[in-house]
Amino acid sequence: MVTIVKHILYCFVFTMLIIVFLFPMFWTATLSFKTYTDIVSSVPKFFFSPTFVNYRGLFTGETGTTSLPITAPNFPRYFLNGLIISGGATLLAMLLGVPAAYVLTRARFRKESTRENIAFTILSFWFGPELAITIPLYRIYQKLGLLDNYLGLILVYQLIGIPFVVWMSRNYFLDIPVSVEEACLVDGASRLQTFLKVVLPLAKGGLSATALLTFLFCWNNFVFALAVGGERTMPVTTGSLSFIRYEAVLWGQMAAAIVISAIPAILLALLLQKHIVRGLTFGSVKG
Amino acid sequence: MKKWILIPAILVPILVGVIPFAYGVYLSFTDWKMANPRASFTGLANYFFLFKDRTFWSAVGISFQYVAMAVSAELALGSLLAFLLVRNTRGQWFFRSVIILPLTIAPVLSALMWKLMLSTQGGVVNYLLGFAGIQPIPWLAQRSTALFTLAMIDAYIFTPFVALILFAGLQSLPREPYEAALVDGASGWGCFRYITWPLLKPLVLVSTMFRLIVSFKIFDTIYATTGGGPGTATTNLHLWVYLGAFRYGDMAYAMSGAVILFLVIYALVFIFVKLWKEATAHY
C-alpha cells in the first residue's frame, strides 16, 4: 500500500515538473498561431482558429493588423546575421582551438602543472563580465571601424568560442589512447599525418558535437551583439526585442520569431543529448 | 610537439579580451563620455564618486539578492529533479530531452516567453491563478515581485543545468559500497551521508560555482523583460554598468563599476578554479 502511494506521489511530482518545463514553450507556440486580437483578449484563449499570419508577417514585413501603422522588424535579416556571425565564429574557434587542444593534451611540458595552468587560463577568458570588455572594446572598434561589423563580432565571440572548443575537444582527445598514435609514429608517419589521418577521424563524433554546441552558444549570445553590434549585424537574440515597439508589442510575431529561433536549439538538444552535459560543464562531467 | 600551435588560441582572446579590459581599466581613470571622446586623465575621481553613489550600492545589493534567490532555488530543485530522474528508469531519454530544452534556447528568448505569460493583460499565468481566486499580479511590473520573478525565470532556465550534472553524478555512483553498507545494516541517511554525499560533493561544487558566476553577471534576461525597472528595482551591477555607459553615455564612470564587477567575478573564479582542481585531483 505504502509503495503504491509513493509511486502515485512520485508520478504526480514528475508530471508537474514536466508541465512546468514544457508549458512556456507550448504556450509560446500557440501564441505564434493566434491573431493579434486573440492574443490581447483579456481571457487567454485555449481554443482558437490557427493562423499563419504571424509567420507570413515575419517574412513579408506585414504586421498582421491594420490598426498598427508600423513597419515590421526585419526577421530574415536577423536570422541570416545570426548564421553568418555564429557560423564564422564557430569556424574560427574550431580552427584555432582544436589543434591547440590536441597539443595541450600531448605535448611534454617541463613542469606538468604548466599544462593545467594554460588550460585554466584559456577557460578563464569565458568568465569575464561581458561589459567590462565591451565598453573599452566599443572605443577600440569605433576607431578601427569594426562597430556593427561581422568581423568585429566574430572576433569578440572568440571569448566564448575558443575556451569552449579547447575544453571540450581536449576531453575527446584524452579519450583516445596514446598507444594508437605511437603505433603510427613507429610506422614512420609524421605528427601531422597522425593527427590528420588517425586522431581526427577517431575524435570526429566529439568534435562535431563541439562545433554544434559552440554554434549554439554563439547563436544564443546577447550582450556582445547588443554592445558592439548594431542595426546591420543584429542577430535573432537582440532582434527579438525589436518586436517590442513604442506603439505596441507585436506579441504574435515575437512568438513566431522565438519559435523559429529556438528550432535549431531544440534539434541540437535532441541530437546531442549524450554530449550536452559534458559540454555544459566544459567537460568536467561525462554525461 | 610544436607548442607554438597553442599561441593563436591564447593570442586571440588576449587581443579581444585582456587588452580591451586593461585599456578599460585605464579609461576608468579618465572622464571619457559618449559626448566627450577625448578622455583626459582624472585619477581616482570616478572611484570616489562610485563609493558615494547610492545607485551603485543598490545595484551591488540587487546582484547579491538575485544570486541568493536564483542559486538556492536551482540547487534545491535541481537535486530534487536529479534524484527523481535517476529513480525513473523507463522514460529517462524523454525526460532528459525535456529538461535539456530550456538550456539550449537562448536565455533572452526564454525570458521573453515568460514576459508573454506573466502579462496582466491576458497573460496565462494570472488567468490560471484566477481560478484559485488570486487577483492578477503584475509580476514584472511592481517593485515587490519583479526581482523575485526574474530569479524564478533564472531558475526555470538553469535548474536543468544543476539537475543534469547531479544526475550524471548519481548515475556513475558505484554499487558496491551501498551493498556493503546494507549488509552492515546502515540506514538510508547513513548511506547518503557517508557514501553519496562525498562522491557527489565535487559535482555540487562545480555546478554551484558555475551558477554563482553566471548569475552574478546575468544581463540579458533582465534587460529584455524589465530593463532594470520598475525604478531601479531590478538594476543589478551588470545592468547598472550598461545603462551608465550606453543610456547615459557616461562611459568612463560606468567602466569603473565594470572593474568592480570584474573583480568580484574573478574572486569567484579564483575560488572556483581552486576548488575544481582540488575536487578533480583524484580522477
Give yes or no: residues A204 and A88 share one domain. yes
pLDDT at position B86: 84
Average pLDDT per 10 consecutive residues for chain A, totaling 287 residues: 81 83 90 84 78 85 58 85 96 96 89 87 90 96 95 96 93 88 86 88 90 92 94 92 79 89 83 78 66
pLDDT at position A63: 62
| Cα–Cα distance, B149 to B139 (Å, whole number) | 6
Q: Is residue A93 part of a domain?
A: yes
pLDDT at position A18: 82
Q: Do A24 and B21 touch (CB under 8 A)?
A: no
3-state secondary structure of B36: strand
Amino acid at the residue A248? A
Nearest CA-CA distance, residue B177 and chain A, Å: 21
To test the contact with chain A by mutation, choose from B94, B105, B149 the residue with the greatest count of A C-beta atoms within 10 A, namely B105
Helix (H) or strand (E) holding B114: helix B107-118
Q: Does a cis peptide bond (omega within 30 degrees of 0) precede residue B230?
A: yes
Kindly calculate the radius of gyration of chain A based on its CA atoms and give it in whole angstroms: 24
- Long-range contacts formed by A217-220: CB under 8 A, 24+ apart: A217/A160, A217/A161, A217/A164, A218/A85, A218/A86, A218/A89, A218/A90, A218/A157, A218/A160, A218/A161, A219/A82, A219/A86, A219/A261, A219/A264, A219/A265, A219/B106, A220/A265, A220/B104, A220/B105, A220/B106, A220/B107, A220/B108
Q: Which three cell numbers stand for residue B159?
A: 535548474
Task: Count CB-CB contacts under 10 A for residue B241.
Answer: 31
Average pLDDT per 10 consecutive residues for chain B, totaling 283 residues: 86 94 96 91 94 96 97 94 81 80 90 89 86 89 94 95 90 83 84 84 88 94 93 95 95 97 93 80 61
Q: Is residue A70 part of a domain?
A: no
Q: Does B283 touch chain A (CB under 8 A)?
A: no
Pick from A118, A159, A276: which is nearest to B17 by CB? A159
Give yes or no: residues A189 and A266 share one domain. yes
pLDDT at position A136: 96
Q: Which three cell numbers stand for residue B171?
A: 548515475
Q: Do A120 and B273 touch (CB under 8 A)?
A: yes
Q: Which three cell numbers stand for residue B228?
A: 532594470
Q: Does B281 touch chain A (CB under 8 A)?
A: no
| Cα–Cα distance, B54 to B45 (Å, whole number) | 16
Q: Is residue A273 part of a domain?
A: yes
- Angle at which helices A251-271 and A204-220 cross, to 10°: 160
Instruction: Tell me the domain boundaries of chain B.
Output: 53-280
Nearest residue on chain A to B259, alpha-carbon basis: A132
| Cα–Cα distance, B106 to B133 (Å, whole number) | 34
Q: Is residue A10 part of a domain?
A: yes
Nearest residue on chain B to A137, alpha-carbon basis: B20
- Measured between beta carbons, the chain A residues lying within 8 angstroms of B9 are 96-97, 99-101, 122, 162, 166
| Cα–Cα distance, B282 to B280 (Å, whole number) | 6
Contact A252, A64 (CB under 8 A): yes
Contact B188, B104 (CB under 8 A): no
Domain containing residue A275: CATH number: 1.10.3720.10
pLDDT at position A142: 93
3-state secondary structure of B251: helix
Task: Name the phi and psi angles at A225, rounded to 5.
Answer: -65, -35
pLDDT digits (tens, 9 = 90+) for A132-191: 999 999 999 999 999 999 999 999 999 999 999 999 999 889 888 888 888 888 888 888
Nearest CA-CA distance, residue B242 and chain A, Å: 7
pLDDT at position A286: 64
Give yes or no: residues A125 and A14 share one domain. no
3-state secondary structure of B89: coil
Pick from A97, A163, A222: which is nearest to B220 by CB? A222
Give residue A180's Cα distance to chain centre. Answer: 34
| Cα–Cα distance, B139 to B168 (Å, whole number) | 35
Q: Do B104 and A269 touch (CB under 8 A)?
A: yes
pTM recorded for the entire structure = 0.91
Whether domain B53-280 has CATH 1.10.3720.10: the reply is yes
Pick from B12, B110, B220: which is nearest to A162 by CB? B12
Give yes or no: residues A135 and A18 share one domain. no
Ranges of H-type helices in chain A: 2-31, 36-40, 53-60, 75-106, 112-124, 130-144, 150-156, 158-175, 178-186, 191-194, 200-202, 204-220, 223-228, 236-239, 251-271, 273-280
Give yes or no: residues A135 and A176 share one domain. yes
Name the residue range of residue A223's domain: 75-280
pLDDT at position B173: 83
Give yes or no: residues A183 and A264 share one domain. yes
| Cα–Cα distance, B56 to B54 (Å, whole number) | 5
| Cα–Cα distance, B71 to B181 (Å, whole number) | 33
Q: Do A127 and B265 touch (CB under 8 A)?
A: yes
| Cα–Cα distance, B141 to B226 (Å, whole number) | 7
Q: Is residue A67 part of a domain?
A: no
| Cα–Cα distance, B39 to B124 (Å, whole number) | 50
Contact B159, B70 (CB under 8 A): no
pLDDT digits (tens, 9 = 90+) for A112-128: 888 888 888 898 888 89
Q: Is residue A115 part of a domain?
A: yes
Contact A153, A137 (CB under 8 A): no
Specify the number of domains making up chain A: 2
Nearest CA-CA distance, residue A271 and chain B, Å: 10
- Measured between beta carbons, the chain B residues lying within 8 angstroms of A258 are 109, 112-113
Half-sphere exposure (CA, 13 Å, Cβ side) for A15? 6
- Measured between beta carbons, the chain A residues lying within 8 angstroms of B238 are 129-131
- Measured between beta carbons, the chain B residues lying within 8 angstroms of A226 are 223
Nearest residue on chain A to B12, alpha-carbon basis: A158
**Please, which residues 115-144 of chain B have a Cβ atom closer than 8 Å to chain A?**
116-117, 121-124, 127
